[in-house]
Amino acid sequence: MNSYRTNIATVARKLMNTHSMVSRKPLLLDGRTGEGGGQLVRIACALAAVTSQPIRIDHVRGNRPGHRGGGLKAQHVSAIQWLAEATGAEVEGLAVGSHTLEFRPSLPPTALAGRNFKIIAGNTASSTLLVFQAIFPFLLFAGNESGEPIELEIHGGTNVSFSPSYEYLDQVLLPILQDRFGITVERQLKKRAWAVGPQFRGCIKLKFHPLAPGQSLKLLGPWNKTPGAEDFRLKRVDVSILVPTFLREPLEKALTHEITKTFPDVDIQFVFFEDSRHGARLYTLLVAHSQTGLRWGHDYMYNRAWKKKTPDSLSAEISRKACRGLLEEVTIRGVVDEHLQDQLVVFQALADGRTSFPRSNEPADDSAESRTPNGPDYRNNSLEDRTPDDNLKKDSTHEPFGDGSTHTTTARWVVSELLPTVQWFNKGAICDGACVSFPSK
């Protein structure tokens, strides 16, 4: 009885059919909980669509007062409207500015009839990546017997403040999902669009390869592999820059200097440059790769006055900010960066079995050398020798919990509300997923 798979209670919980968990009474969620913004809305609606669980969210985006405003934004309306049509849902409060939303889906993902879709978000400030985030879990389970892929175009902004960029999606999130879960999403940036400068909609094109009916999402490889020193020894840093052409040369020079100073003996690869065609459009993404394939991303979108600064001073400022952020990510000694950790929570909760994506490891000592990116050695809360019954402290999930950013702790709470069979342990370090799957129609 050493394995959790032989534990009778756990097996019974794993074998529960997704629809048997569903109550027709709407699950009530307070939109002011935790980060209290759009992430809560996206995750709640995404999982409601997957499980056919009716939900009601009051005080939508209640922690977003001031210039960003509360209530639904255009990008939320676009994503939820698509999910409503796909699931035959009844919806109340689906309007820009609405502070209450009721979403009652009735059709499972496997009932999705079409294989080719287009979503046009409200405006150029509507992030295509956040729309994608809201419908991704539903599409993941929308496989059919013939194994047809699903093609989707989303029109809106591709580089928007408070949103992932297309470059982060392409270089960090989707590669990790493929490496860890085998999720395959082909992608193409057809047209870029910014929230500053001349306004027009951009477009991303995605081709999903959903799970087959009856198949659950599973982690590839062991869930409890303890990172070693080589996992945190950097191999290279990839650089993507989107700036006006006049800034390319000084920024490449400044980044080369700053990366070399911050991460000695690490290869630097400039993997992407694009002329942003406007002085206020300044974006840089750094992705650090370890010797064993771990990666951490950190991006920086410049949002300050730029006209009175010289190209050299502006480049130096951007480089310092970007490198400082990446250094913080790497020296934490976690297996994911801050933004990746919160985006993986949904997939952990849906998966069959245990997963662990911690974002902190304890250094062997507090010396300066031990805290450098390629320092000598590290120890952490070892997972490899731990069996499921070994001193695992079950987390209480009635409010945002665990280690990580506010977005991460809120995400754990939302998925636990929608998928009550999910279990979390040791301050969110370990997730025992709900093993969601759907039989064919």
Indicate the helix (H) or strand (E) that contains 128.
helix 128-140
Contacts with 427 (C-beta within 8 Å, 6 or more apart), sequence order: 395, 401, 402, 403
pLDDT of residue 305: 64
* Reported confidence tier of residue 12, pLDDT bands at 50, 70, 90: very low
Whether the per-residue pLDDT at 232 is higher than 80: the answer is yes
CATH fold group of domain 229-331: Dihydrodipicolinate Reductase; domain 2 (3.30.360)
Q: Does the domain formed by 23-223+340-432 have CATH 3.65.10.20? A: yes
**SS3 string of 341-394?**
HHHHHHHHHHCECEECCCCCCCECCCCCHHHCCCCCCECCCCCCCCCCCCCCCE
Please give the average per-residue pLDDT across 275-296, as a whole number: 93
Q: Model pTM?
A: 0.88
Please give the average per-residue pLDDT across 313-342, as a whole number: 94
How many whole angstroms separate alpha carbon 253 and alpha carbon 74?
39
Whether the per-residue pLDDT at 46 is higher than 60: the answer is yes
CA distances from 76 to 65, 71, 95, 108 (A): 17, 10, 9, 21
Contacts with 13 (C-beta within 8 Å, 6 or more apart), sequence order: 421
* Reported confidence tier of residue 126, pLDDT bands at 50, 70, 90: confident
Q: What are 346's two structure tokens?
A: 């949904």
Whether the per-residue pLDDT at 205 is higher than 90: the answer is yes
Please give the average per-residue pLDDT across 188-198, as a whole number: 90
Higher pLDDT, 6 or 93: 93
pLDDT of residue 390: 60
Number of H helices, E strands in the chain: 10, 15
Please give the average per-residue pLDDT across 232-258, as a whole number: 96
pLDDT tens-place string over residues 136-161: 999 999 999 999 999 999 999 998 88
How many whole angstroms separate alpha carbon 253 and alpha carbon 270?
11
Which amino acid appears at position 117 of this protein?
F
Whether the per-residue pLDDT at 68 is higher than 50: the answer is yes
Contacts with 15 (C-beta within 8 Å, 6 or more apart), sequence order: none
Check: CB of residue 167 under 8 Å from CB of residue 285.
Answer: yes
Please give the average per-residue pLDDT across 255-269, as a whole number: 96
Q: What are 65's two structure tokens?
A: 């007062």
Residues 277, 279, 283: CA angle, nearest 5 degrees = 80
Residue 353 CA, distance from chain mean position: 20
What percentage of the chain carries pLDDT values higher than 90? 72
Whether the per-residue pLDDT at 7 is higher than 70: the answer is no
List the single range of 120-124, 131-135, 297-301, 387-391 with lowest mean pLDDT.
387-391
Whether the per-residue pLDDT at 396 is higher than 60: the answer is yes
Contacts with 160 (C-beta within 8 Å, 6 or more apart), sequence order: 124, 125, 126, 127, 129, 194, 195
Please give the average per-residue pLDDT across 214-218, as a whole number: 96
Q: What is the dihedral of CA 65, 68, 71, 74, to 10 degrees?
A: 180
- The mean pLDDT of the chain is 87
Q: How many C-beta atoms surround the C-beta of residue 17 within 10 A? A: 11
pLDDT of residue 220: 93
Direct distance between the N- and C-terminal alpha carbons of the chain, in angstroms, rounded to an integer: 36
Side-chain-side CA neighbours of residue 84 (13 Å): 17
How many whole angstroms separate alpha carbon 72 and alpha carbon 280?
27
Give domain limits for the chain: 23-223+340-432, 229-331
